Structure 1
Amino acid sequence: MMKYYQNKTILITGAASGIGKLFAERVSEVTGVRLILWDISAKSLQKMEDELAPKTKVVICELDVTDSGQVEREANHIMGQKIIPDLILNCAGIVSGKLFHQYSYQEIEQTLNVNVTGSMNVVRAFLNEMIHRGTGHIVNLASASGYIGNPRMSVYAASKWAVMGWTESLYLEMKEHQTEVNVTAVVPSYINTGMFEGVKAPLLTPILETDDIVERMLRGIAKRKRTIQAPFMVRFTPFLKGILPASVFDWVAGRIFGVYKTMDSFKGRGK
């Protein structure tokens, strides 16, 4: 499995915490890997560089993925050194567990910008060079909320539905034009990274540990899977939603599995 990552340049956004951080730590042990780590937290990035530099080549950049100008400038700087990522892993994301009418306009804009536009900015900056080179792999972190709506997750769910639609369309474009650029969507349920602190797991859908989903990602990416879903009920959700009337599905999801109450005790990371 890990042979896939040998001698690859891997760019990770949201690299200073959660999935991005652990993924970087895991692949840093692979021969010849070069890591490009982007995050908005300079202090956390510096700590990661100190930890990983003895193992592999590491380049860090304090960067806001929502700033297209900053993304383009940093991408051009990297490509000016004849470096093009072999793998882009979009992990940067935020959530605010509120009812929709409680959101400020700024919170709506920020969530969509970070979770959707930010990932698009990063991919857009490097995609032409990947296509020209004839190789590349883009991995976007989506969510099970891209399959099913949920109270207190309206804006987050909207952002992940957008990520799912964009990723699927991008996959089809790359395949149709025979670019050899792979595209993968990662679709997990709640993950124990602190981002969803306080949530209650639905029936038969346990909260994933970070090392579990990262292990699944490492394997799925190496196999060039189109979609990586976890746990099992996430794969089952689109099927149920497709065969059941909407009212019946809502009853099953809400009353039996308890999905619609999972965010009632949400705390999150806070500011």
Structure 2
Amino acid sequence: MASYFDDKTILITGAASGIGRRFAETVASRGVRKLVLWDRNPDVLDEVAAGIGDKCQVITHGVDVSSIESVTTHAEKLKSEGVVPDLILSCAGIVVGKMFHEHSAEEIQRTLDINTTGSMWVVHAFLEEMIERGSGHIVNLASASGYIGNPRMSVYAASKWAVIGWSESLRLEMGKLNTGISITSVVPSYIKTGMFEGVKAPFLVPLLETDQIVELMIKGISKKKSKIQAPFMVRFVPFIKSLLPERAFDWVAGNVLGVYRSMESFEGRERDKEKE
């Protein structure tokens, strides 16, 4: 049976860990021709490439998506070699996990640069070539926090609200221009990648296993879905917010579902703490 990923070139950011890494490892055996893996930790990318072996061609670059110079330099290098991705998957992301007033200016800027602006820069670097070719697929990793605010996630939530708004607008633009380019937003709740180590899963919204969300992504991308939302309860959040008065929704989210307490025991990933 033919796979949607057959003979495709896929660029993945944040490919050294979490969803990005697992997605790369999974699709490598599903007919992909070439994987381009970008991350700020190139040594770990070498390990990922070694694990993939000869399943497909793997290109690794140490790219910091928060740096326009880094993104542009490596994008131009790929294009000079005739490499324009068929699919771009933006997984690079960080979370600080503090009350807003506790953030430093650097932490605010870094979160927005990596989670939002970096994704835009990566897509922008290849979009004209995709439009000229008449095909492509852009997949942006958002978050359920882009639907609902949460204490200790103000900057992270802002970055993911922006990703959702940008993705929806980009989808409409690409459709209006008949470019043949699909846009998919992935909107998960907490995932067991280490990035949200210590969080407490809200009621009815269990922590997702990495393999679980990756398989959902593979299925949804193959069907060119505009949104992939998980777990099931996530897709109802915008609807419930539209029905309930603000105070009523806050009471349900905070006291019934426990969403607003979920970050109280947050620890995060050690390597991210070291870089803050």
TM-score range, shorter chain: over 0.9
SS in 1 for 2:195: coil
Preserved CA contact (<8 Å) 1:2 1:30: no
- Counterparts of 1:198-237 in structure 2, within 5 Å, are 198-237=198-237
Aligned to 2:264: 264
| CA distance in 1: counterparts of 2:172 and 2:75, whole angstroms | 25
Aligned to 1:83: 83
1:127 has 2:127 as partner: yes
| CA distance in 2: counterparts of 1:128 and 1:2, whole angstroms | 28
- Counterparts of 1:154-169 in structure 2, within 5 Å, are 154-169=154-169
SS in 2 for 1:179: coil
User: How much does 1:2 deviate?
Assistant: 6.5
Preserved CA contact (<8 Å) 1:108 1:155: yes
| CA distance in 1: counterparts of 2:188 and 2:59, whole angstroms | 28
Aligned to 2:96: 96
TM-score, normalised on structure 2?
A: 0.97
Instruction: Spell out structure 1 runs of 4+ moving beyond 6 A.
Output: none
SS in 2 for 1:183: strand
User: How much does 1:165 deviate?
Assistant: 0.6
Aligned to 2:183: 183
Preserved CA contact (<8 Å) 1:2 1:222: no
1:152 has 2:152 as partner: yes
| CA distance in 1: counterparts of 2:31 and 2:155, whole angstroms | 40
Matched residue type, 2:204: L
SS in 2 for 1:97: coil
| CA distance in 1: counterparts of 2:265 and 2:110, whole angstroms | 23
User: How much does 1:177 deviate?
Assistant: 0.7
User: How much does 1:31 deviate?
Assistant: 2.5
| CA distance in 1: counterparts of 2:163 and 2:55, whole angstroms | 33
Matched residue type, 2:232: F
| CA distance in 1: counterparts of 2:80 and 2:153, whole angstroms | 40
Q: Tell me how many residue pairs correspond in the alignment.
A: 271
Matched residue type, 1:143: S
Ranges in structure 1 where 5+ consecutive residues have no aligned partner = none
- Counterparts of 1:245-264 in structure 2, within 5 Å, are 245-264=245-264
| CA distance in 1: counterparts of 2:96 and 2:31, whole angstroms | 39
Preserved CA contact (<8 Å) 1:32 1:56: yes
Preserved CA contact (<8 Å) 1:4 1:222: yes
- Partner deviation per Cα, 1:220-252 (whole Å, 9 max, x = no partner): 000000000001110010000011111110011
Change (3 A) 1:133 1:150: same
- Partner deviation per Cα, 1:127-150 (whole Å, 9 max, x = no partner): 000000000000000000000000
1:62 has 2:88 as partner: no
- Partner deviation per Cα, 1:133-178 (whole Å, 9 max, x = no partner): 0000000000000000000000000000010110111000001111
| CA distance in 2: counterparts of 1:42 and 1:221, whole angstroms | 27
SS in 1 for 2:4: helix
1:42 has 2:42 as partner: yes
Preserved CA contact (<8 Å) 1:89 1:139: yes
SS in 2 for 1:5: coil
Matched residue type, 2:144: A
Change (3 A) 1:87 1:205: same
Change (3 A) 1:32 1:236: closer
Change (3 A) 1:62 1:196: same
Q: Which moved more, 1:50-59 or 1:195-204?
A: 50-59
SS in 1 for 2:179: coil
SS in 2 for 1:11: strand
| CA distance in 1: counterparts of 2:42 and 2:6, whole angstroms | 27
Aligned to 2:140: 140
| CA distance in 2: counterparts of 1:55 and 1:13, whole angstroms | 20
User: How much does 1:187 deviate?
Assistant: 0.0
Question: Once the two structures are aligned, what percentage of the paired residues are identical?
Answer: 59
- Partner deviation per Cα, 1:6-38 (whole Å, 9 max, x = no partner): 000000000000000000001111235200000
Preserved CA contact (<8 Å) 1:216 1:228: yes
SS in 2 for 1:238: helix
Q: What's the Cα RMSD here?
A: 1.0
